[in-house]
Chains A and B, each alone.
Chain A
């Protein structure tokens, strides 16, 4: 038996206290850091770190929740697919409650649509084999952590000659987005807490262009409380250097999982199955070369071509500031809808739906401590 904390050495209270003291020491002037990964947002809230940070240090949540950055039109498309009589729509769980223009996958399921929650994309192959007369569609949402597993699924489906499986390629990639978000007018930013899992795939060198172009400190950071505190210390030290006229760099706090060059096998299968493409990020707009679509060899798996779907123009919720939250301009408690009209039970915007969304994390963990 162990306790809720298994990774003791990443959660020692004396060490945490020392790092927090160092953070208070370094953050005497106002400073803003952005965590670009939803898992970080949740980890920070779950460990109660916001309650321990100095007042001048802002931890902003970036566009790091895959559900949150999926455009409304793409959600509408998945919902429309679920309504087709011959389709079994498969998805990861956190897409179920995301509101489209008029409905959600959860509501469609209750109305009788065949929508199934998967725990891993390979389950879609089993469903396709068990239902040869039906079209199995997977809603491919996620970052570089998800796309290799979908790529492997598609490669395996092709090897087995499965013809009734297709995927909506709504994938996003992180580095170009960081590049674009480094400088948003009116929003100071002093460094990126770079995502641990994504970096394990793409490697810490992927952030070099952002560092070079914007002189923006980048620290690849793990997910345990001490990892995050150590990452914040490294960023604050870099920010001090940058303020004094020095150069920013990429640092790797999470070296037990992340290498400079990344996971070669995963990158190879991504390169085989996908091509880079421009992608629309919800509430942010099109970011060049920030998405994945199927390469020529695997184009037949693209659900957009396979299904005859025509969705009307999407209409988003009014009054919701998810866009500004994902740009790091505001925090969830700034939103007039937060915890009133918009709750995890009746979410208005995407950041309240996903468990990794900034609003959901604030609602669950920080409502009273912020």
Chain B
């Protein structure tokens, strides 16, 4: 297939051109014994000779519509794998298989499509997941902003692991794996072509390895959440309301990159509400906190892990500010909009 080519409606017609696209561009990159069969459904016994493992099955799906498609630190392909791997990981599951739904516009550059598929392939490889089934559709130009992706994922929750928002309880420590707000700020800067002296990179990454470390250090971890849309503020509110508890975090302890903070300051955004794609919030018994932090810091994605607060006190989520004041952190009503002035 020509690298300077463009996707045409015929690539989605079911004919020879579509077969060429699937065989060369897609399966050529993502291929594995399950996918290579190109049957109507994947037989998940193929790889291991048995079903996907012992334990409870976790299932999730997510659609990816990010603009721009390519951004510092990743692209829509990286995100589509990491997002779904992370959703499984936050249930304590070990992700095994993903499906890939690909909706691409006519006129889209095949070279760009290949770049995205390369990202999907390499991200899946690093996370140790297999793309087991897929679907491709071509739609008219101007309808989906280039490409949108959907991935569904299956994984196995090991026996004995019960991770859920409702398990947060008084006395638990709240731990975060690193700086907050990097992904959404990176997307914003790239989308709006804001001119900065420094590059802000998305933190987009698969967290299953880091979660394995957490579960190794503390199999009884209560809550795992990745603070994606709505950021830390929204996620903590979801946990507090599910569990019917209070959470207080220390402003002084919340890690934020200086350049992220600068961009947020200018636009009137609060990094607490900015989306992350490679961070995990861990809620666990206080006595296990030191062990968890130490283990997480030894993992490349958890070097800046720190305890930011604790569960307890009156219901709701509160921030103890740097100057010693306390104020609530509420759920965002809508998207944050850049301000005047």
Contact in complex: B327, A225 (CB < 8 Å): no
In the complex, the answer to whether A39 meets B341 with C-beta atoms within 8 Å is yes
Interface residue? B258 (CB, 8 A):
yes
Does B257 touch A at the CB level, under 8 Å?
yes
> Across the interface, do B327 and A45 meet the contact criterion of CB distance under 8 Å?
yes
- The A-contacting residues of B in range 171-194, CB under 8 angstroms, are 178-180, 192-194
Known: A66-B341, A92-B339, A141-B340. A17 touches B324 (CB 8 A): yes
Whether the Cβ atoms of B324 and A13 lie closer than 8 Å is yes
Q: Which chain B residues border A123 with CB–CB below 8 Å?
A: 192-193
B142 at the interface (CB under 8 A from A): no
B334 near A367: Cβ-Cβ < 8 Å:
no
Partner of B327, one of A3, A97, A366: A366
State which of A48-56, A213-221, A242-250, A282-290 sits at the interface with chain B.
Answer: A48-56
Determine if A229 and B328 form an interchain contact, defined as CB atoms under 8 angstroms apart: no
In contact, A6 and B323 (Cβ under 8 angstroms) = no
- A38 touching B323 by the CB < 8 A rule? no
Does A257 touch B at the CB level, under 8 Å?
no
Kindly specify which of A142-150, A269-277, A303-311 makes contact with the partner chain.
Answer: A142-150
Contacting residue for B323 out of A49, A117, A356, A363, CB 8 A: A49
Q: Which of B132-140, B222-230, B248-256 contacts A (4 or more CB under 8 A)?
A: B248-256
**Complex contact B338–A4 (CB within 8 A):** no
Q: Is A47 touching B322 in the complex (CB atoms < 8 A)?
A: yes
Q: Does A77 touch B at the CB level, under 8 Å?
A: no
Residues of B contacting A20 with CB < 8 Å? 323-324
B323 touches A66 (CB 8 A): no
Evaluate contact between A1 and B255: CB separation under 8 angstroms. Answer: yes
In chain A, what residue has the closest Cβ to B333? A344
How many residues does chain A have at the interface if contact means C-beta atoms less than 8 Å apart? 56
Q: Quick check: B340 and A119 within 8 Å, CB to CB?
A: no
**Known pairs A2-B261, A4-B261, A345-B333; A356 contacts B322 (CB<8 A):** no
A48 contacts which of B180, B319, B333, B339 (Cβ < 8 Å)? Answer: B319
The residue on B at minimum CB distance from A120 is B194
Asked whether any CB of chain B lies closer than 8 Å to the CB of A298, the reply is: no
The reply to whether B257 and A1 contact each other, CB–CB distance below 8 Å, is: yes
CB distance from A14 to the nearest CB of B (A): 10
Question: How far in angstroms is the closest Cβ of chain A from B327?
Answer: 4
Residue pair B337, A93 in contact (C-beta under 8 Å): yes
With the chains together, A356 CA to B338 CA distance in Å?
A: 11
A130 CB–B CB distance under 8 Å: no
Pick from B261, B268, B322, B326: contact of A225, CB under 8 Å: B322
B41 within 8 A of A: no
Least CB distance, A152 to chain B, in whole angstroms: 14
Q: Contacts A13-B322, A47-B323, A48-B319: A364 and B338 contacting too (C-beta < 8 A)?
A: no
Smallest CB–CB gap between B233 and chain A, Å? 10
Q: 1/0 per residue B142-181: CB within 8 Å of A?
A: 0000000000000000000000000000000000001110
Distance A96 CA – B338 CA, assembled complex (angstroms): 10
Question: Residue on A with the closest CB to B339?
Answer: A94
Q: Which residues on B sit within 8 Å (CB–CB) of A365?
A: 327-328, 330
- Asked if B322 and A2 make an inter-chain contact with CB atoms under 8 angstroms apart, the answer reads no
B254 touches A4 (CB 8 A): yes
Q: Looking at B180, B322, B333, which has the most chain A CB atoms within 10 Å of its CB?
A: B322
25 A-B contact pairs sorted by A residue (CB < 8 Å): A1-B255, A2-B255, A2-B261, A5-B251, A6-B256, A20-B323, A42-B268, A46-B327, A47-B321, A48-B320, A48-B327, A49-B323, A50-B325, A51-B325, A93-B338, A94-B337, A141-B340, A146-B340, A225-B325, A354-B340, A364-B330, A367-B328, A368-B316, A368-B328, A369-B327
Further contacts, 17 of them, CB under 8 A, given A13-B324, A48-B320: A1-B304, A2-B255, A2-B256, A3-B255, A4-B254, A11-B322, A16-B324, A20-B324, A49-B323, A51-B326, A92-B340, A93-B337, A120-B194, A141-B340, A197-B341, A345-B333, A356-B268
A-B residue pairs, 3 tightest by C-beta: A48-B325, A93-B337, A16-B323
Residue ranges of A at the interface with B (Cβ–Cβ < 8 Å) = 1-6, 11, 13, 16-17, 20, 38-39, 42, 45-52, 66-67, 92-97, 117, 119-120, 123, 141-143, 145-146, 197, 225-226, 229, 343-345, 354-356, 363-369
